[in-house]
Chain A
Amino acid sequence: QKEVEQNSGPLSVPEGAIASLNCTYSDRGSQSFFWYRQYSGKSPELIMFIYSNGDKEDGRFTAQLNKASQYVSLLIRDSQPSDSATYLCAVNGGGSTLGRLYFGRGTQLTVWP
């Protein structure tokens, strides 16, 4: 059973702070990693994807991947109340030819003004 683990939270940070979201996965063969944001009652929307070890930055978001530790994280700098949502970590199954994704339960983030 391939597993993706996230801290369920809730994670609460003040506006302007850095929010750090963490995810570990069990399948060493996984090659692609995704962070989705899901507002209450809405569908998941892609925030970032990362394939290689190291950091990938996109605006206020930075994804970090460490395949040796089977760990992927998402940093949100200058957090805004509009960032309040559930963040889903998704990992593709190693060896899959069709993008079979395994999702964590999500971390609920609240950014307070």
Chain B
Amino acid sequence: ETGVTQTPRHLVMGMTNKKSLKCEQHLGHNAMYWYKQSAKKPLELMFVYSLEERVENNSVPSRFSPECPNSSHLFLHLHTLQPEDSALYLCASSGAKSTDTQYFGPGTRLTVL
């Protein structure tokens, strides 16, 4: 595997389910990000991790819970979601400098019924 991978690629869940999204980066980066992309809206940053420490939580509801066990892996745990949470969830990674490029994974298309 190369670059940034995400699983699953598609997920359909009910409002009472609990599921997790997984992201893995093979680029030797030490910063990882979760973004949400809804139709007709800009990419929204959700969480930032640097060296496995959460450094930004962009006012995201508590039904989204991130986890970063090491610098290569990032999870987004989902519970009690709402239909408006249906979106494309993108993971990205980068080096730690502010000028470093972020590289995106393929995304997970989430549908909440």
B45 and A104 within 8 A (CB): no
Majority SS at the chain B contact face: loop
Residue of B nearest to A51 (CB): B99
Q: Which of A101, A105, A106 has the most CB of B within 10 A?
A: A101
Which residues 69-109 in B have Cβ within 8 Å of A in the complex? 88, 90, 94-107, 109
Residue of B nearest to A88 (CB): B43
A99 and B31 within 8 A (CB): yes
A68 part of interface (Cβ distance < 8 Å): no
Q: How far apart are the CA atoms of A111 and B32 in the complex, in Å?
A: 34
Q: Given B42, B55, B104, which contacts A45 in the complex, CB threshold below 8 Å? A: B104
A96 part of interface (Cβ distance < 8 Å): yes
Q: How far is the CB of B25 from chain A (nearest CB, A)?
A: 13
Majority SS at the chain A contact face: loop
A residues near B90, Cβ cutoff 8 Å: 43-44
Q: How far apart are the CA atoms of A85 and B96 in the complex, in Å?
A: 29
- Using A92-B99, A100-B48 as known contacts, say yes or no to A43 and B105 having CB atoms under 8 A apart: yes
A22 part of interface (Cβ distance < 8 Å): no
B residues near A44, Cβ cutoff 8 Å: 43, 90, 104
Q: Which of B41, B42, B106, B107 has the most CB of A within 10 A?
A: B42
A32 and B99 within 8 A (CB): yes
| Chain B residues within CB distance 8 Å of chain A | 31, 40-43, 45, 48, 50, 55-56, 88, 90, 94-107, 109
Could you list 11 examples of A-B contacts with CB < 8 Å? A31-B98, A31-B99, A43-B90, A44-B104, A46-B103, A51-B99, A92-B98, A98-B50, A98-B55, A99-B31, A100-B48
